[in-house]
Structure 1
Amino acid sequence: MTGYDRPALIAAARQSIRKGSKSFAAASRLFDRTTRERVWLLYAWCRACDDIADEQEHGRAMVHGPIGTRLAPENRLATIRTLTELAMAGEKTGAPAFDALGLLMREVALTRVMVEDVLAGFALDADDWRPRSEADMLRYCYHVAGAVGVMMAAVMGVPADDEDTLDRACDLGIAFQLGNIVRDVWEDDAQGRCYLPVEWLVEADIPPGEVTKPHYRKALVPLVARACALAREYEASARVGAARLTFRQRWAVLSAANIYGAIARKVERLGPHAWDHRVSTGKAEKAGLVLAALGEARRGPVPAPNPTLSRSGLVAAAR
């Protein structure tokens, strides 16, 4: 017995994914019940960490109190670390999303290293870190999304010694995050952040802090195309790994790949108008992408190599 109220934690996690991500919620319905519930538990912890780090509520801005009452980034990170440490130790935290991680770690083969690699991404943001090179950007993508992909693969039963499949699960997370980076250029800039490499901006003659200025939009478009090309490379690798999963798992993963890949493709296609409004996919479009994934799940994947900078290289850089 774990001492956790599993049904209550599952219900809270399900509500979290419904509020926080319509895309992941849609894809998660394709899993078998046990995997689906575990995916919700993992999502709930990731979402809670994101919300604490950014002082948000399911990705949306919170109403703050008087000036001076907001926690400093390092204090938010300390909160995330403390609650996560308690969860990994099997202690009740009083926070359902962190208890969800505690329960999950007692049901599947998640490791402390997997969790710490995700926490390292929050540490980068707390330090106001910026990627200087393409490798730096990919390292960031690894921590905030690729490492989550590794945890997701473990939740789906991929053994710890299946390094290539774990690498390719990581690749899908990296592809997702590259899509987020190009979609959210304006939103990140409003928060004083930019995840496009400094070296890319210098090559395009875009001064630091001016990436969203109207007269630099045309110069920004080739950089977005470059990031989207990287995303396609990582996504193609991930599809090879997905073929090794059970059918329902494969369908769910390919559906998520289609939905998130569509967002990056829209941003690239819109060019300088990509940030006139937030790019998303509607219900009908999602349904079509899920249906397309069904056909893809029944066929073998197109062969694709691992990207030049894969999980092992990114982990080495992080260490």
Structure 2
Amino acid sequence: MTGRELDAAGIHDPALRAAYSHCRGLNARHGRTYFLATRLLPVDRRPAVHALYGFARWADDIVDDLENGAAPAERARALLALEAQLEAGPRPGEAPEPVIRALAHTADRYGIDRRHFTDFLASMRSDLTVGGYASYEELGRYMHGSAAVIGLQMLPVLGTVGPQEEAAPHAAALGVAFQLTNFLRDVGEDLDRGRLYLPTDLLAAHGVQRELFEWSRRTGARDPRITAVLRAAAAHNRAVYRQALPGLAMLSPVSRPCIRTAFVLYSGILDAIEADGYAVLHRRAVVSRGRRAAVALDGLARAVASRTSRRRPGAARAKEDDGRLRPDGTGSSVREEAA
């Protein structure tokens, strides 16, 4: 299947094929929800998405390289080396990281602004020294590089039905929405790494200090004030999903099933967190395999219909329109389909 994707994308150079295959492997191992949604894209667009994911995952793994005992200074040097390779690009006779080789090819092919990658690496470097944020405004500056630019990188690959600049704010918002969901799901694991992505002023509004989160993580005990903070954070996250929602209709029809599926599955994680009583400090909330399969099958039907409609205009319009997400980002498309 990997060869089919690469052939469809016109990628024939052996070294380049190996680089893209490496990125695909990273996506399959570490980004299950993301990988599942990517399977709904036309085959020729999938390698580019794998390259973008592979680069982000590689940098993120450098930041979180605690198992090997790497000191922050050592991880910072590794990030700088990665950035230097990105700026230089693949050179004849050299063997850069596979993720850089694939990323450079993808960026050139789709005209992706290189600033999105440098902004991403800047946020990754901040994770080595910054363990918390005072407000959502301050957190937002970090998330521009760590999440919003991911949506902006993806946009040229996905394609739009109108000017990209009109879809860009919604694509950026969706990247932020996905990351806020990750922050909630992984709050316990992030605390273990010395980070808390819930703003200090949000905690203070509910009479909570960071030490209470650390105590709860350490002891397994619960506190209603922590639940109140997490519930408020989830409500904020849902509001960002609503900001992103209009962008789905701005995407190329063949890309909508992929992003729609990711939207439903990721927002479904919030439903899982709520159903589990906001116990994210003690266990990870997940969308069940059955729910994931149901959403994926629906996405597959929409993907087939969208490709059929390219050959027979209007043939699949009823199916596509009947399944649109509601304007508030909730309702059947999020709560029922994720169920």
Q: Same fold (TM over 0.5)?
A: yes
1:154 to 156, 176, 185: 156
Indicate conservation of the 8 Å contact 1:39/1:152, yes or no.
yes
Structure 1 range deviating more: 232-241 or 203-212 = 203-212
**Distance in 2 of aligned mates of 1:28 and 1:285:** 17
The aligned counterpart of 1:78 is 77
Letter in 2 for 1:89: A
Measure the CA separation in 2 of the matches of 1:127 and 1:212.
19
2:214 is equivalent to residue 194 of structure 1: no
- Aligned counterparts of 1:158 and 1:213: Cα–Cα separation in 2: 47
After superposition, residues 77-226 of structure 1 pair within 5 angstroms as 77-91=76-90, 92-158=94-160, 162-214=164-216, 217-226=223-232
Q: 1:133 to 1:220 in 2, by over 3 A?
A: same
Q: Bigger CA drift: 164-173 or 223-232? A: 223-232
1:286, CA displacement in angstroms? 0.8
User: How big is the shift at 1:151?
Assistant: 0.6
Could you state the TM-score of these two structures normalised by the residue count of structure 1? 0.83
If you compute each CA radius of gyration, which structure gives the higher value, 1 or 2? 2
Counterpart contact for 2:188–2:282, Cα < 8 Å? no
2:59 counterpart residue number = 49
CA distance in 1 between partners of 2:192 and 2:162 (Å)? 40
Aligned-residue offset at 1:208: 2.9
CA spacing shift, 1:130–1:6, aligned 2, 3 Å: same
Shift of 1:261: 0.8
1:131 CA drift (Å) = 0.8
More off after superposition, 293-302 vs 208-217:
293-302
Q: TM-score, normalised by structure 2?
A: 0.78
Structure 2 stretches lacking a partner, 5+ long: 1-10, 303-317, 330-339
Equivalent position to 2:29, from 11, 19, 26: 19
Question: Aligned pair 1:262/2:273, yes or no?
Answer: no
Q: Which moved more, 1:185-194 or 1:24-33?
A: 185-194
Aligned partner of 1:33 among 36, 39, 43: 43
Tell me the equivalent position of 2:284. Answer: 278
Measured in 2, the distance between the counterparts of 1:208 and 1:274 equals 15
- Say if 2:51 and 2:106, in contact at 8 Å, map to a contact too: yes
Deviation at 1:249, TM superposition (A): 0.8
- Contact 1:224–1:268 at 8 Å: present in 2 too? no
**In structure 2, which of residues 238, 244, 251 is the aligned counterpart of residue 238 of structure 1?**
244
Distance 2:108 2:33 in 1: 27
Secondary structure at the aligned position of 1:243 is classed as helix
- Residue 294 of structure 2 corresponds to residue 288 of structure 1: yes
CA distance in 1, matches of 2:112, 2:162: 9
Distance in 1 between the 2:24 and 2:294 partners? 24
Q: Give the direction of change, closer, same or farther, for the CA distance of 1:278–1:4 in structure 2 (3 Å limit).
A: same
For structure 1, list consecutive stretches of 5 or more residues without a partner in the other structure: 57-61, 65-69, 306-319
Distance 1:34 1:277 in 2: 38
C-alpha distance in structure 2 between counterparts of 1:303 and 1:268, whole Å:
21
- 1:298 alignment counterpart: 320
Paired-residue identity, %? 25
